[in-house]
Amino acid sequence: MKVLVPVKRVVDYNVKVRVKSDQTGVDIANVKMSMNPFDEIAVEEAVRLKEKGFATEIIAISCGVAQCQETLRTAMAIGADRGILVETAEELQPLAVAKLLKALADKEQPGLIILGKQAIDDDCNQTGQMLAALTDWPQATFASKVEVVDGRVQVTREVDGGLETLSLQMPAVITTDLRLNEPRYVTLPNIMKAKKKQLDVFKPEDLGVDVAPRIKTLKVCEPPKRSAGIKVADVAALVDKLKNEAKVI
């Protein structure tokens, strides 16, 4: 069974993002970029499925600019067997990415596609769900445990009231939550090995997908600055302020 793992190149989670002065977006010039953390978890899970003998080949996919090749090399250093870059300089929205992934799923015929539950740059939490709709495959989002049992995939999900376990027929789409696993450290020998792995490059046109944005961003701005807090003398003063100033109790 092949496993596809889409990996997005995003601003590193340690970077404090700055809004561009013309309010058209976030400044990513000279900013450290990394693999979306949820996608690292997805690659790790695919590698564990391969180590357990359920997966035969792991294919990492990234859609975006040429530098996404670095993200693919990281995925291959964790353990993906090969990479596919869908190269475009266009702004890619979740629907466009889902259509590209659907085209690649038709080509590769995987048993599973494991995505991150959300990309930490746009926080959309849409691509996996849209991909499941386009492929008409079962989906299990926010996975905290994945097991292959009797030819089906059993996924434990984190839901509001606790945990829910679903049994899905494959092929299926899974999105990862934070507690699914802890990705392994990438070792130098594996980084070197990853440099030699196969990496194919397509353009969206090669896959017959129109990636033109469907949503227009009007303005991006900083959240309002918070004013400094104060210390209150005792609980009575706190209750008084909550009641009479904040009027929340």
Q: Summarize as ranges the residues that interact with ligand AMP (CB under 6 A).
A: 6-8, 36, 38-39, 61-64, 92, 94, 97, 115-116, 118-119, 122, 124-128
Q: Where are the alpha helices (DSSP H) in the chain?
A: 37-51, 68-78, 94-108, 127-135, 188-195, 235-244
Residue closer to ligand AMP (CB basis): 71 or 156: 71
As beta bridge partners, residue 35 has 9
* Contact predicate 100/209, CB 8 Å: yes
C-beta pairs of 25-34 under 8 Å, 24+ apart in sequence: 25/217, 25/220, 26/121, 26/220, 33/9, 33/67, 33/70, 33/71, 34/9, 34/10, 34/71, 34/74
Q: What are phi and psi of 222, to 5 degrees?
A: -70, 150
> Which residue lies nearer to ligand AMP by CB, 65 or 186?
65
Minimum CB–partner distance for residue 79 and ligand AMP (Å): 16
Contact 108, 2 (CB under 8 A): yes
Closest approach of Cβ 197 to ligand AMP, in Å?
17
Nearer to ligand AMP, 65 or 241 (CB): 65
Shortest CB 188 distance to ligand AMP, Å: 26
Nearer to ligand AMP, 122 or 158 (CB): 122
Q: Shortest approach of ligand AMP to residue 81 CB, angstroms?
A: 17
Closest approach of ligand AMP to the CB of residue 7, in Å: 6
Task: Between 34 and 36, name the residue whose CB sits nearer to ligand AMP.
Answer: 36
